[in-house]
Amino acid sequence: MPMHTPMWQYFVTVQGVTTLYPPTANVCTGTDVVRRLSFLSGQNVDLVIALDGSNPMSELVGSFSMWDIGGWLTHVLLEETTSFGDRVAMVGVSSHMEQAEDVVLKSVNKYIINVIANHIKAWKPNGETSYLPLLEQAIHIFRRSPSKVTSAGIPCVFPFTYQNVVYNDCTTVDYNASWCATTSNFVNDGEWSVCSLTRRTKVLVFVSGSESENETIADIKEFVHNRSNSVLNDIKIIAFGLGRYMNFLQVCFSPGGKHISIERLQNPYDTSLVTFPYALFLAVHGAREPVFSMPYKNILYHGIVVTLSQAVFDNDTFVGIVGIDMKVADLLREIIYDGSGSNSYFFVMNRENGYCLFHPMAPPYVDHRHPTVLRTTFLEPEAARHNLLNDMASVDSGDAYIVVRRTISNGDPSRDGSKTTTTNATFTFESIEGTNFSLCLVVYEGAKEVRYSNLSRVPEVRLLYYAYAGESGMKQCELFTKIVTLNSSVVKFEPTSFIDPFLFAENKTFPSKTQVKEYIDVLQGKSTKRIFRENVKDGVIITSLLDNIWRYHNNGSYPFWRSIILDTGVLRVYPGIRMARRISHTTSSFYRKAIAEQGRIVVSGPYLDDGGAGYLLTIHKAIYVPGSSTEVFAVQTVDIPLEHAYNEMLGDYTPCKGKKTRYGNSCILLNKAGYVILHKRFMAAPKTWSEMPRLTNRHITSMERHIAHDMLKWGFMNKTSWFDLANNKEYMSYVLSEERKTSTTNTRFTFTHISGTNTFLVVIRSKRYRYKDSSKCVCVDWVSSKLPYCKANGSNVCECPCYKTVEFIHQNGTFIKDDLVLSVPPPITSNHPEQSHREQARRGRERFKPCFNFSCNEQFTERKCHHQLGCRWCSAGWDGRPLGSNSYCADRQECYFGMVGHPGPYGDYVKVEDSSHVKILLYLFATFALIIVTAVVSFNCRHRLECICREDENFKDIFT
């Protein structure tokens, strides 16, 4: 059975016996059984808990008083049987207790549960036991809590007056959907909204430990049985007797009700005493047709699932339920992959109350009992203004063409900032049959597929699959800690390349050689089996023609690692290497940066290569369909060592060769968010063996506080903030101005945006930079991989990029800050997506010859030394003293960071060796940038190939 069909199948009997397939060790956890039983109601629940507050409840039963047991029972019901969308209330019952006239049903959440728990703790039993006030208060609560609410979750107000007519229910007058007033003074306010559905199960739970002292059984039965015109007629009553079996309760609430006895509480953690009989009671009174549950986070699977349940009867006797669990992602897999990467998405709304169950901007379900669930109007303000959400609540299907604003991350959501775009989008919704949900698909304008034409068959030699790069008879050699082949590039397919992407994603192992052969046969036309989506074969052909170019340019001193990813999900990397399988390259932050920069050359900051190559930079660029400035069809990348990049970009630039200033270095290269790409300090040798240079994620506010202060003061750099609901954080970052030019009167530094790139050059000009200005910059040498918490206020205060948490108010489902700029969160990525395609280094493997042989000891200048891969200019001795004229070129392992004997960033992972045993260190491993499908265009293969080859030639002269 394919794994993307049913996950678990089960049968739960009335005795609590659960049969589950496939088996799991967590089958006896209890909570899931309870939730499965309660799903049969097919509706949300309005729950009123009436806790007997009379004096007999203070009597001990074993180690606990009946009042303690009642409080525990109430907490269990609220915590373990309620779901999102349920409403709850609690009242006390005794002759000395006042009527709770202001009690109404409220949406269950952590705040409400804590309020009720605190109320029980502060309440002391007193007075005589009386049952009738319980029923009278229940009537008041249900009456004061209207069952009809608007699509935004606001209760309808009845009666209301419209055009001199009084309405006691929703109406369709002057509108094509049912609507109601939402304020008591509708004539003056005019506030209204579309009525939502009213399917709710009303449940009254009565908890007592003694019989009524003032009423007889006849009095109570008469009140209960003669309720045909009362709201009680729709209420299901379940009574819990504490301390003993109470026949009094059983008689009072039969037939139709249920009595459960809890005579002694031995284990407070055994909640099944309460949860199972309660859920079973709801199931008996639930629907007999198959019912879809509300989506929930299952304890057996860390994700959102739905349950399809069916009650089982034997001659009208309820015997249990049978059901199937399914992943929501599987049910909606075609929608998930529609417009992959193009910011198209879907969301699911509860038609009853307007809350959003799924949305790309919504927070995750960290706690499935108390999720931070928001109103859809908060997440989709444009759709709300166009009445689309009202239509979703009132009609079964529809669509609308809406102009939407979206704030989207430029790459790493916490570091690269964001940009706001205005886009036309089509909203198409349809109600989900058998549920109270509507699903809406949002497709952005331009989310179309690129098509190819007139392409030849796939060259056989270029289909070396990524899983068997070292096992195909190809010549292998050693690149740092990896075994690669220089004879060919390798191909890897994204899940989106497959017709059934989820079948690919569920396979946690490398495809077998038989499967790889099957892939090749399909691509070469030898098999007609449908595995890949349209254009995948064409993508393999196009990228294979780059193979010759890449191999030819690897004959020099710098065999650049290169990669290209097409919109079809075809990834090609050279040199060929066995790559990690469980990676979706569309989640790469480098890819998102390339797309965000709209065709510019994007340069990353330094990062430590996990294959032993040291610190690298990655250069990447989006490639566009010929003749278009918006339709991206591929992203190409190249990796280079930090030392080589510094020499090429800054080392030969005349203004950077001048005398260093007192407090800084001549030149600094920054990215658009103010992070340092290149700095002279990156090339300086450490002072001691124990000092490890800090090169990754360095920001200008940390490394050069005085410059950052003035850049912010003079408008070269500006603060920006945006809110990520998925992490409940408001990020503060910076954006450098491309329009702002250095004033001719500025003698401190010059600031220039390098056209066609995401980089900015700062050249320090003043020899007497007033460092005291930096006292206004509160960022203190921050180098942590995690952002600090924001401490400063004000747009002109210089501080590190940081974040703030935003408090969520559970009682009304809103955030305490109402001016948040919401951002669409990027896909989940690894911490270092630029290296995520590589497997972990294999220790104790067979030794291979180095792929290249370079002679570091034959290079006599720093520049020539750094033009050889694996070489480093040794400028400091083991004691940290400068070598001066005795500096020399050696293998990087001999003098990491320019210091003789330094252990380097890998510790014992790359051992320090004597200079007489120099190993050839190459470098680099390709980052995978990816492509978003954006345009339907058909053009000749030769035209497309010219475009790709032209882009590749540009990478040779990237620094020029």
Model confidence band, residue 943 (pLDDT cutoffs 50, 70, 90): very low
Superfamily of domain 43-142+201-285: von Willebrand factor, type A domain (3.40.50.410)
- Best CATH choice for the domain 452-643+928-956 from the list 2.40.30.200, 3.30.450.20, 3.30.2320.30, 2.60.40.10: 3.30.450.20
Task: Give yes or no on whether 43-142+201-285 and 332-444 have one common fold.
Answer: no
Tokens of 108: 């269950």
Model confidence band, residue 293 (pLDDT cutoffs 50, 70, 90): low
Task: List the single range of 94-103, 554-563, 853-862 with lowest mean pLDDT.
Answer: 94-103
DSSP string, 87-123: EEEEEEE-TTSPP-TT---EE--HHHHHHHHHHHHH-
At 701-720, the pLDDT tens digits run 888 888 888 888 888 998 88
Tokens of 11: 């049968």
Instruction: Give the max Cα distance, the chain.
Output: 109
Q: What is the pLDDT of residue 298?
A: 58
SS3 state of residue 341: coil
Tokens of 266: 């031995």
CATH 3.30.450.20 applies to domain 1-42+287-329 = yes
Model confidence band, residue 206 (pLDDT cutoffs 50, 70, 90): confident
DSSP string, 699-736: BHHHH-HHHHHHHHHTTSEEEEEEEETTTTEEEEEEEE
* Strand 200-208 relative to strand 44-52, pairing: parallel
- Domain positions in the chain: 1-42+287-329, 43-142+201-285, 332-444, 452-643+928-956, 856-917
Look at residue 306 and tell me whether its pLDDT is greater than 80.
no
Look at residue 884 and tell me whether its pLDDT is greater than 50.
yes
Model confidence band, residue 676 (pLDDT cutoffs 50, 70, 90): very high
> Greater confidence, 154 or 837?
154
Q: Which residue's entry shows tokens 């209420």?
A: 235
Task: List the single range of 13-22, 194-203, 816-825 with lowest mean pLDDT.
Answer: 816-825
Q: How many CB atoms lie within 10 A of CB 899?
A: 27
Model confidence band, residue 813 (pLDDT cutoffs 50, 70, 90): low
Q: How far apart are CA 534 and CA 449, in angstroms?
A: 10
Q: How far apart are CA 647 and CA 667, in angstroms?
A: 12
The mean pLDDT of 299-321, rounded to a whole number, is 71
Q: Are 798 and 778 in contact, with CB atoms under 8 Å apart?
A: yes
Model confidence band, residue 669 (pLDDT cutoffs 50, 70, 90): very high
Q: What is the pLDDT of residue 341?
A: 41
CA 775 to chain centre: 38
According to DSSP, the residues that pair with 625 across neighbouring strands are none
CA 351 to chain centre: 24
Look at residue 909 and tell me whether its pLDDT is greater than 80.
no
At 419-474, the pLDDT tens digits run 777 778 889 898 877 667 888 888 776 555 555 555 555 555 455 665 565 565 66
Q: How many residues does the chain have?
A: 960
Look at residue 842 and tell me whether its pLDDT is greater than 50.
no
The mean pLDDT of 612-635, rounded to a whole number, is 81
Model confidence band, residue 816 (pLDDT cutoffs 50, 70, 90): low
At 517-550, the pLDDT tens digits run 788 888 878 888 888 887 888 888 888 878 878 8
The mean pLDDT of 232-244, rounded to a whole number, is 76
Look at residue 887 and tell me whether its pLDDT is greater than 90.
yes
Look at residue 910 and tell me whether its pLDDT is greater than 50.
no
Please, what is the average pLDDT of the chain?
71
Q: How far apart are CA 138 and CA 220, in angstroms?
A: 14
Candidates 624, 665, 669; CA nearest to 642 is: 669
Query: pLDDT exceeding 90 applies to what percent of the chain?
Result: 2
The mean pLDDT of 625-632, rounded to a whole number, is 73
Q: Are 21 and 266 in contact, with CB atoms under 8 Å apart?
A: no
Look at residue 670 and tell me whether its pLDDT is greater than 90.
yes
Q: What is the pLDDT of residue 677?
A: 92
Backbone torsions φ then ψ of 713, nearest 5 degrees:
-65, -40
At 566-615, the pLDDT tens digits run 877 888 888 888 776 555 566 677 777 887 787 889 998 898 887 777 88
Helix or strand (DSSP H, E) at 940? strand 938-940
Q: How far apart are CA 433 and CA 351, in angstroms?
A: 12
Task: List the single range of 5-14, 253-262, 284-293, 834-843 with lowest mean pLDDT.
Answer: 834-843
According to DSSP, the residues that pair with 720 across neighbouring strands are 733
Q: What is the pLDDT of residue 784?
A: 62
Backbone torsions φ then ψ of 335, nearest 5 degrees:
-75, -40
In CATH, the number for domain 332-444 is 3.30.450
Q: Which residue's entry shows tokens 């009095």?
A: 219
Query: pLDDT exceeding 70 applies to what percent of the chain?
Result: 63
Distances (CA, A) of 869 to 77, 608, 640, 856: 66, 16, 9, 9
Model confidence band, residue 911 (pLDDT cutoffs 50, 70, 90): very low
Model confidence band, residue 918 (pLDDT cutoffs 50, 70, 90): very low
Q: What is the pLDDT of residue 94?
A: 58
Tokens of 65: 């008083």
CB burial readout 802-836, b (16+ within 10 A) else e: bbeeeebebeebebeeeebebbbbbbebeeebbbb
Look at residue 411 and tell me whether its pLDDT is greater than 90.
no
Q: What is the pLDDT of residue 794?
A: 65
At 124-152, the pLDDT tens digits run 888 888 778 777 777 778 777 766 666 55
Backbone torsions φ then ψ of 391, nearest 5 degrees:
-65, -35
Q: What is the pLDDT of residue 487?
A: 80
Q: What is the pLDDT of residue 212?
A: 80
Model confidence band, residue 829 (pLDDT cutoffs 50, 70, 90): very low
Look at residue 324 and tell me whether its pLDDT is greater than 70.
yes
SS3 state of residue 399: strand
At 183-192, the pLDDT tens digits run 878 888 788 8
Q: What is the pLDDT of residue 624?
A: 82
Candidates 904, 906, 878; CA nearest to 891 is: 904
Q: Are 838 and 852 in contact, with CB atoms under 8 Å apart?
A: no
Q: Are 588 and 928 in contact, with CB atoms under 8 Å apart?
A: yes
Model confidence band, residue 888 (pLDDT cutoffs 50, 70, 90): very high
Task: List the single range of 198-207, 236-245, 580-589 with lowest mean pLDDT.
Answer: 580-589
- How much helix, strand and coil, in percent to the nearest 5, is found in the chain? 25, 30, 45
User: Residue 48, by phi and psi: left (phi above 0), alpha (psi -120 to 50) or beta?
Assistant: beta
The mean pLDDT of 140-167, rounded to a whole number, is 75
> Greater confidence, 957 or 72?
72
> Greater confidence, 306 or 834?
306
* Strand 938-940 relative to strand 451-453, pairing: parallel
At 348-396, the pLDDT tens digits run 887 777 778 777 777 655 555 555 667 788 888 888 777 888 888 888 8
The mean pLDDT of 154-171, rounded to a whole number, is 83
Helix or strand (DSSP H, E) at 950? helix 941-956
Q: How far apart are CA 58 and CA 64, in angstroms?
A: 9
Model confidence band, residue 414 (pLDDT cutoffs 50, 70, 90): low
Q: Are 204 and 89 in contact, with CB atoms under 8 Å apart?
A: no
